[in-house]
Amino acid sequence: MHQTGLLAAGALLYARDLRLAFRRWEQVTQPVVFFLMVTTLFPLALSPDTAQLRQVAAGIVWVAALLSALLALEFMFRSDYEDGTLEQLVLSGQPLWWLSLVKAAAHWTVSGLPLVVTSPLVAASLAVPAGAQWTVVASLALGTGILSFLGAVGAGLTLGVRRGSVLLSLLVLPLTMPALIFGARAVDMAIMGDSPRGPLLLLAAMFILSLSLGPFATAASLKVSME
């Protein structure tokens, strides 16, 4: 029998996930709308004073982005689990860690990337100076990536569990706290006019760690959930 190659199988799965996501458009847009709304709450609750907002902007952008990405995390495997596609993927003979990696990457493209793209808008509304915008984008690109690859483990573990979404946040949030520390610190340093190189590099290291180990843990968690 003809066996599909690794890259070909990955490309097929990636394209399929994107196509499905764009057919259910609201799943892509809702986290972004949530992101915009949550960040609107802070000026209303704290103060519209730009100097004051600038001081807390890094934290607000990062916490809001993490929570918005967390909202979408639940759907990474949910529909595939329910209609049996996931079972077919496990049985497909392709290495499961590779399929997990591709699915997490596809999930990042439809849930993390839109947040990254809208983040300069949010940052500007919180009086983040233009010079710090690149740091916002870079740190969030890495941060949402970490959340997708690490969160995939949690999403796999909570498949078929009652009230899985609350549980998922309980499991994943403590694991992403280091990313939050460095991401918010990088943005804060950029706002202050310092070089955000140090925390950004650490964030990149964490991204590589979650990219390289996360898929194996995700594969294990999917196998547990499929039994």
Q: How far is CA 154 from the centre of its chain?
A: 12
CB 126 within 8 A of CB 43: yes
**Which DSSP letter does residue 93 get?**
S
- Comparing CB distances to other proteins, the nearer of 41 and 224 is 224
| 26/227 with CB nearer other proteins | 227
Sole window of 33-41, 50-58, 111-119, 180-188 interacting with other proteins (rule: CB under 8 A): 180-188
Shortest CB 55 distance to other proteins, Å: 16
Q: Which residues contact 182 (CB under 8 A, 6 or more apart)?
A: 139, 199, 200, 202, 203, 206
> Minimum CB separation from other proteins for residue 180, in Å?
9
Q: Closest distance between other proteins and the C-beta of residue 182, in Å? A: 6
At 194, give phi and psi (nearest 5°): -85, 170
Three-state secondary structure of 102-159? HHHHHHHHHHHHHHHHHHHHHHHHCCCCHHHHHHHHHHHHHHHHHHHHHHHHHHHHCC
Site membership for other proteins, residue 23 (CB under 8 A): no
Which positions from 94 to 133 touch other proteins by CB under 8 A, shown as an x/- string?
----------------------------------------
| Contact pattern for other proteins over residues 133 through 162, marking x by CB under 8 A | -----------------x--xx--xx--xx
Contact pick of 32, 206, 207, 215 for other proteins (by CB under 8 A): 206
CA distance 114 to 111: 6
Closest to 192 measured CA to CA, from 57, 1, 2: 57
Which of residues 173, 204, 208, 211 is near other proteins by CB under 8 A?
173
Rounded to the nearest whole angstrom, what is the least distance from the CB of residue 207 to other proteins in the complex? Answer: 12
CA 148/CA 105 separation, integer angstroms:
7
> Which residues would be at the binding site for other proteins (CB under 8 A)?
150, 153-154, 157-158, 161-164, 167, 170-171, 173-175, 177-178, 181-182, 185, 202, 206, 209, 213, 217, 220-221, 224-225, 227
